[in-house]
């Protein structure tokens, strides 16, 4: 018969308990709020550009900002969104949070980007934020995943295809690198959400209607 202690042990491996629940709750709240900062919208307003939710894919992210033709605005959006994941993890670590919980803090920051209270819970797809999370958690994992995105982007010029491929490979890289369960599970959940958020892009790719990187915006 199965050991009655197996389920609690498995849960502990996936979500290690911390001896400071206050730190965990505080870090989680801070991570979510950081994730909620809509850099695509903020940067677009600063540069006098149209709201990225009003054209192209309607996604408040760097790729859609790039469709305005303003590369600097797109770059700032990219770095801002990526920084959200890394900063959230850095703050949690500085607060003394158990290192095994940092992957979950990164996931919460990612969820803040995808489901931000600041935009009525309709945020971006999380590609840049997830990259920041991976780089902060384990830089070789982040570089391998980023390298996958860049290879696909330069080869095919589709941001969505690059993101889908990178999302599929991130958990695989995590396993191959021998990373612990508390990293593999949140990374896998981020990958799953990224794939769901790109369902429309996948349909357009299969239909041959997906726009390529650098395409100019189209009115909504």
Domain boundaries, the chain: 20-207
Largest CA distance in the chain: 66
User: What pLDDT is recorded for position 82?
Assistant: 97
- Answer whether 180's CB lies under 8 Å from 100's CB: yes
Report helix, strand or coil for 25. Answer: helix
Per-residue pLDDT tens, the chain, 220 aa: give them: 455 555 666 666 676 755 578 888 999 999 999 999 999 999 999 999 999 999 988 999 998 999 899 999 999 999 999 999 999 999 999 988 888 899 999 999 999 999 999 999 999 999 999 999 999 999 999 999 999 999 999 999 999 999 999 999 999 999 999 999 999 999 999 999 999 999 999 999 999 999 888 666 554 3
Cβ contacts of 202 within 8 Å, gap of 6 or more: 160, 164
Residue 205's CB is within 10 A of a number of other CB atoms, namely 16
Tell me which residue of 35, 199, 183 sits closest to 101, measured CA to CA. Answer: 183
DSSP code, position 219 = B
Structure tokens at 162: 């690059």
Tell me which residue of 56, 79, 84, 82 sits closest to 69, measured CA to CA. Answer: 56
């Amino acid at each position: 018969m199965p050991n009655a202690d197996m389920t609690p042990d498995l849960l502990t491996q996936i979500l290690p308990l911390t001896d400071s629940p206050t730190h965990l709750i505080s870090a989680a709240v801070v991570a979510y709020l950081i994730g909620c900062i809509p850099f695509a919208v903020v940067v677009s307003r600063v540069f006098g550009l149209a709201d990225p939710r009003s054209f192209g894919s309607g996604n408040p992210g760097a790729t859609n900002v790039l469709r305005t033709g303003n590369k600097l605005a797109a770059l700032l959006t990219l770095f801002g969104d990526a920084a959200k994941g890394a900063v959230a993890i850095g703050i949690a670590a500085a607060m003394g949070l158990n290192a095994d919980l940092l992957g979950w803090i990164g996931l919460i920051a990612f969820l803040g980007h995808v489901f931000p209270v600041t935009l009525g819970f309709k945020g971006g797809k999380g590609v840049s934020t997830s990259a920041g999370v991976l780089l902060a958690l384990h830089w070789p994992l982040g570089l391998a995943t980023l390298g996958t995105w860049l290879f696909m982007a330069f080869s095919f010029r589709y941001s969505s295809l690059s993101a889908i491929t990178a999302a599929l490979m991130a958990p695989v890289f995590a396993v191959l690198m021998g990373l612990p369960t508390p990293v593999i599970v949140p990374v896998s959940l981020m990958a799953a959400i990224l794939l769901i958020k790109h369902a429309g892009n996948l349909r357009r790719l299969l239909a041959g209607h997906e726009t390529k990187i650098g395409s100019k915006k189209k009115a909504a």
